[in-house]
Structure formats: structure tokens, C-alpha cells
């Protein structure tokens, strides 16, 4: 009887200590809630394009230094990397946030709406965080503050990677995750695993979505240059119309998806997002340029689509008396979640969010250069809900009306913080 009583007392003491530790950790997370929202609004109101995130990087570095975290700036041009060493030795986990905005003119009526304008590829445009990178940055700054207050719970180190140019560097420049890897961001100390999240406007707040294995698509950027023969608009028979040829090429590209790609295996997308040609209504121009993207989730499909598009552009142009060439630029690999790491971290996500709020999903055709980190070390990338509860529709990412509910940010801080502790402390 005495043994059982002592055991009960011991369990009460241990339970009380654990509860205090959890309360302390949760209290730290709650203490940064308003800061995260404030940081996010500041970044949203002052967005910067890829490889030009100078003020954003300055604000991040200042915050990390204030926490006593070792800071390195100028990584991959404008990136910031922080290193937090725990009180005990162990593995190294990396947490990544992307920090760049997009050339989109905001249409929201928010008090912190972006009014920033710039010239992008020769065109005047607004600048907007239309994909939530302001949210990712603010959340990771919050995680850095939480973990810096809990160094005694960290067995190992946490590397905070604030990455520029996720949407792609300006033409002619290097940038993004690929350049960070090239500059050895995953070394010194060597990273054992990496985590990242993406806010999602179509997922309800306090919900987390994930997929083991291939999660997001490989992305290619292509440029088709069509050469015709200029003539008067009233006499098309005396020239070669590159605009007509461009239309036929676009139509042909779509037949590759609808008639040549086995979509029951994986999804694939070909999109032409920009066409430039001509100056006047009554002149058939000499040339046209089309810029677009290909999204694939299967390496064999990727290879086939690239080959067929290259063949088709040239053949269609020739059939109409013109010429066409196509140039390719690899933007991302398949975002691939390591199966063992995903399974290891699922219990943590279910604990912080509630098991019913952690939902598996199918692969998506959006792309992420987080994949370049995953190519080198095991990685786990998941989606965080940003849609107001009760809403059934949401504006897509990369649009002028893109909107995120800020009430879900705290879960992002809690998820990344607890994942770091649990991974590093695992035996």
C-alpha cells in the first residue's frame, strides 16, 4: 500500500512538472501572437521583390540579433540565416521561410494594404505579398523568439533560414533556395532535416494539410520566340503572322495535356502567362514572344512534355511559314516529403492542432523551391490554414484579392516550435 502511495505522489510531481513546462512553452507562444501579426502587417505593407528584399532582411536580422541568435546576412544576395544553439549537444534542424513578394497590384481594402509600385520586366506594377510569404516570415520570427527562450529544452541547434526569391530571381540572376544550397546554407553546421510551411487561403484556420512523398510539382519556365514577316494589316498574305502562329502553338500545347499525357498517373499543367507582340492595330508584326510554365509531378511525364513542346513549337511555326524556338529554365524540383520524417512528425502536428485538424491531401501543381533543400536533406513541408472559418470560397494565391485570416498564425508558430523540440529530443 505504501509503495502505491509513493508511486502516486511521484506521478503527481512529474505530472505537475510536465504541466508547468508545457504551460511555460505555451505562454511563450502566446506572448508572440500580437508581435507576429504586427510583423506580418509591416511586411505586407512594405513588400519587396526577389533579390531586392533589403529592408525585409534588415528587420529580420535585427530581430534575430536581439534574441542572441548568431546571424549571417547577405546569403544568396538578401537572405538571412540565424543559428540558435541549445544548451545540450545534438542534431541540427533547419526551419525555412520565404521572404519575397510578387509583381501584383493589391485590390484589398486593408488598413495595411500595399501601395508599393515598381517596374518589372519593363512594365509598371504594384508589389504585393500575394502568396503569404509575409506570413511565413513573421511566423518564423515568432518561432525564433519562442525557441530562444527555451534553449534548455533544445538538444542540438536550430538554423533559421529566411530565403529570398522563392518566386524566382529576376532574369539573368541567380537566387532562391538553389543559390542558398550552392552557398552551403545546409552546412556549418550540417543540417540533419528541414521543415517548412505554407499558408493556404483555401484551407480553414487551425487546419493543417500534408502529403507524404511528392507534394508539389516540378516547375519549368519557358520562353517561345516566334519569327514571322512584318506586313501591312490590310495585306496578311504578303507577310507571316507571328500572332496567329502563337495562337496555334498555344492550342497545340494544350493538346499535349489533353491527348498525350496520362493524367490518371499524375497531374500536369502547361500555362502561357504572357504574350508580347506588335505595336499598332494595322501592322502584322515581325515577331512574338510567349512566356509560360510547365508543372509536372512525374519525371517521365516532365521529360516527354518538354520534348513534345519543343518539337511542336518549331513544327507548327514551320507549317505557317514562320520559325519558333523555345528556351527552358528549371525553377523547382518536385517538393518531396521524406516518408520517415513525415511519419515521425505527424504525432507532433496532431498534438498541437488536434488529430481531427491534421488532414492528408493529394499533390498540388503549385511549385516550391523548398525542393532544392529536400534534394540534399530529408524535409517535411506542410500547409497551414488561412481561410476564415465558415467561408466556402477563397481568392487564389497570386491574385490581387488574396486574403489571409490572421487568427491561424499562432498555430504555425506552435507547430514549428514543437516540431523542432520533438525532432531534436527524439532518441
φ, ψ dihedrals at 269, nearest 5°: -140, 135
**H/E element, 134:** helix 133-148
236: number of CA atoms within 13 Å, CB side? 9
Neighbours of 423 (CB within 10 A): 22
Q: Which are the contacts of 107, defined by CB distance < 8 A and separation ≥ 6?
A: 400, 401
CA distances from 316 to 18, 136, 195, 226, 247 (A): 69, 44, 45, 10, 10
| Cβ-based neighbour number of residue 424 at 10 Å | 22
Residue 187 is a catalytic residue = no
**Residue of 48, 98, 100, 338 marked active site:** 100
Residue ranges of E strands in 175-267: 193-204, 208-210, 213-227, 231-232
Given the residues 134, 166, 369, 405, the one annotated as active site:
166
CA nearest to 425, candidates 345, 343, 318 = 345
> Catalytic annotation on 58?
no
Query: Distance between CA 337 and CA 151 in Å, rounded?
Result: 28
Q: Which three cell numbers stand for residue 26?
A: 505555451
- Catalytic residue numbers, as ranges: 100, 166
Amino acid at each position: 500500500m505504501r509503495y502505491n502511495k509513493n508511486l502516486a505522489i511521484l506521478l503527481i510531481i512529474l505530472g505537475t512538472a510536465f504541466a508547468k513546462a508545457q504551460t511555460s512553452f505555451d505562454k511563450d507562444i502566446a506572448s508572440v501572437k500580437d508581435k507576429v501579426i504586427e510583423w506580418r502587417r509591416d511586411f505586407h505593407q512594405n513588400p519587396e521583390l526577389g533579390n531586392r528584399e533589403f529592408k525585409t532582411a534588415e528587420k529580420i536580422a535585427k530581430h534575430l540579433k536581439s534574441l542572441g541568435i548568431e546571424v549571417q546576412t547577405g546569403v544568396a544576395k538578401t537572405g538571412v540565416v540565424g543559428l540558435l544553439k541549445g544548451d545540450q549537444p545534438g542534431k541540427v534542424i533547419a526551419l525555412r521561410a520565404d521572404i519575397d513578394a510578387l509583381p501584383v497590384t493589391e485590390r484589398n481594402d486593408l488598413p495595411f494594404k500595399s501601395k508599393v509600385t515598381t517596374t518589372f520586366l519593363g512594365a509598371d506594377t504594384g508589389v504585393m505579398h500575394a502568396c503569404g510569404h509575409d506570413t511565413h516570415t513573421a511566423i518564423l520570427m515568432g518561432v525564433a523568439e519562442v525557441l530562444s527562450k527555451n534553449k534548455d529544452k533544445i538538444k542540438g541547434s536550430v538554423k533559421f533560414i529566411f530565403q529570398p526569391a522563392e518566386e524566382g530571381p529576376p532574369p539573368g540572376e541567380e537566387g532562391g533556395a538553389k543559390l542558398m544550397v550552392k552557398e552551403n546554407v545546409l552546412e556549418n553546421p550540417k543540417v540533419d532535416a528541414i521543415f517548412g510551411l505554407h499558408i493556404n487561403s483555401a484551407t480553414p484556420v487551425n487546419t493543417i494539410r500534408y502529403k507524404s512523398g511528392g507534394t508539389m510539382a516540378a516547375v519549368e519556365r519557358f520562353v517561345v520566340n516566334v519569327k514571322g514577316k512584318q506586313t501591312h494589316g490590310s495585306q496578311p498574305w504578303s507577310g507571316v503572322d507571328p500572332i496567329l502562329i502563337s495562337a496555334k502553338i498555344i492550342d497545340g500545347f494544350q493538346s499535349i495535356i489533353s491527348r498525350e499525357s496520362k493524367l490518371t498517373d499524375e497531374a500536369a499543367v502547361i500555362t502561357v502567362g504572357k504574350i508580347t507582340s506588335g505595336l499598332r492595330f494595322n501592322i502584322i508584326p515581325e515577331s512574338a514572344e510567349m512566356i509560360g510554365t510547365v508543372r509536372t509531378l512525374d519525371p517521365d511525364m516532365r521529360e516527354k512534355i518538354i520534348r513534345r513542346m519543343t518539337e511542336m513549337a518549331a513544327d507548327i511555326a514551320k507549317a505557317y511559314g514562320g520559325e519558333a524556338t523555345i528556351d527552358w529554365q528549371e525553377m523547382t524540383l518536385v517538393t518531396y516529403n521524406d516518408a520517415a520524417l513525415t511519419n515521425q512528425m505527424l504525432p507532433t502536428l496532431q498534438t498541437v492542432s488536434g488529430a481531427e485538424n491534421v488532414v492528408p491531401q493529394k499533390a498540388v501543381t503549385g511549385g516550391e523551391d523548398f525542393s532544392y533543400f529536400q534534394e540534399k536533406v530529408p524535409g517535411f513541408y506542410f500547409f497551414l490554414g488561412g481561410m476564415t472559418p465558415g467561408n466556402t470560397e477563397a481568392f487564389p494565391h497570386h491574385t490581387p484579392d488574396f486574403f489571409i485570416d490572421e487568427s491561424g498564425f499562432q498555430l504555425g508558430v506552435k507547430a514549428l516550435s514543437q516540431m523542432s523540440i520533438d525532432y531534436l529530443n527524439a532518441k
